[in-house]
Amino acid sequence: MTVQNWWRGAVIYQIYPRSFLDTNGDGVGDLPGIDERLDYVASLGVDAIWVSPFFTSPMADFGYDIADFRCVDPLFGTLEDFDRVLEKAHRLGLKVMVDQVLGHCSSEHAWFRESRQNRSNPKADWFVWADAKPDGTPPNNWMSIFGGVAWTWEPRRGQYYLHNFLSSQPALNFHNPAVRQAQLDNLKFWLDRGVDGFRLDSINFPFHDAQLRDNPPKPAELRTGRGFSADNPYAFQYHIYNNTQPENLGLLEDVRALMDSYPDVGAVGEISSEDSLATTAEYCTSKRLHMGYSFELLTEEFSAAYIRQTVEALEAKMLEGWPCWAISNHDVQRAVTRWGGENPDPALAKMLVALVCSLRGSVCLFQGEELGLPEAEVPFEALQDPYGKAFWPNFKGRDGCRTPMPWTSTGDAGFSQNKPWLPVPPAHRLLSVSVQEDDAGSTLHAVRKFLHWRKTQPALLTGAIHFVDAPAQLLAFVREHPEQRLLMVFNLSADEVQWSTPIAGELCVPAYGVACVPLDER
């Protein structure tokens, strides 16, 4: 079978369905809303969409707690609505990736409802069950990412069950071959429906240590976890045994073997481990994942030195695979606020998109990133995220990046005819699509222009990357392809920078500006 690798160098636009467009007036975005705005997405110059979960769910974690992996939740529409999105996307030249959560499901899933009844039912070993210690406490010291212990007592079985996230998200037992096959069959269902790939949520979590050994403690000065609150006890441990187990490699190879039986599909895995870059390199090979991304560029650290160090570290380790980069998504504070403060310079938003789209690899852009949306301030009384409620006020959760997409400048920004599930901040109305379409100098127009130009640059799509020493404020690298060499320079500071480059002469890079210098075009 000929593999075209559409995903290699692709820009993938993440759609968070709840917040994209509401067409039925219930305040929550839906699949018909995605269908209605696909022309806009295609106009950006992206190559694919990644649709966050729209499956049947009690919505305790807003869709990442799945009660039926093959059905659309009525909140979002129907399976036929999804088919219409898929057909229209393909007609517009967009590939479609759907989120898949392999490692856990909802406590409302039929599998778990059966498993929890007793220790002898057909699904008894489909989840991670363990006896209490003699004193009644949980079987080991594992912690949940969402705070507290990772074990919940089930009186019907007289055992604890494992959950790496919410207690309503029980961990599946991948040591059971039947579980592994069931999840592969769920992937096959969507591949047969015509999707072009998957974003695999928390893909290093499916397997756990079968011996249930305690995780070792982490010194206080090293408790700087990625992707979770700094005061979360999850950061108090080295997560040696509750995820990233050797058996997971076999699962990834099974996933790849399944996907290789379909023409031109791809998968990107979300990876968060003790050494995420090393895990990404290990997971992304010709027999495992097509692409992987981690949280290294989703943190508060922002400097040319840090970005260079991160990219070079992955390049050194990933000898066979293909990286995928993201600086914003539905789980972290929006990049322009994280790196630009409360009142970010609009030039920063333009530069950040150009930067991440110039690195070697594929890119995930989060909806609204093309508008330069800052993080929304969501008051506690309007908060929906259980993670934020638990850690308020030190950590305000993930709702600030999940507020509705602003389409117009009035009311609820054209998102819904009724009260939206999260409030639309006034600042977002001023940055709406309609406002920016009318402004030739807007972030939207700049991003659209850059992405369309990028499609014509082979060096940026698939070329190698080599960093160049530059002043501290500048990130500089060469992208090299047999047909083209480009020097890309990004000013990460609010001041203009003069630089005598060793390969392109004098450059003047404006504040939060970008310079692209062709080198000996061939």
> Which residues lie across from 72 on neighbouring strands?
55
Sheet holding 474-481, edge to edge: 464-467, 474-481, 484-491, 514-519
Query: What is the Cα gyration radius of the chain?
Result: 23
CA distances from 43 to 56, 93, 156, 490 (A): 31, 11, 54, 25
CA distances from 272 to 37, 112, 189, 243 (A): 32, 26, 27, 9
User: Pick from 414, 450, 417: which is nearest to 433 by CA?
Assistant: 414
Number of Cβ within a 10 Å radius of residue 416? 23
> Which residues lie across from 488 on neighbouring strands?
477, 516
Per DSSP (E only), the strands in 61-123 are: 68-72, 95-100
CA angle 185, 10, 90 (to 5 degrees): 60
Catalytic residue among 30, 99, 154, 201: 201
201 is catalytic: yes
| DSSP-derived secondary structure for 241-307 | SSS--TTHHHHHHHHHHHHTTSSS-EEEEE--STTHHHHHHHH-STTS-SEEE-STTSSS---HHHH
Catalytic residue among 22, 65, 270, 370: 270
Number of Cβ within a 10 Å radius of residue 382? 13
DSSP designation for 181? H
Q: Can you tell me whether residue 104 is helix, strand or coil?
A: strand
469 is catalytic: no
Contact (CB, 8 A) for 115 and 126:
yes
Contact (CB, 8 A) for 75 and 26:
yes
Just list the catalytic residues.
Answer: 201, 270
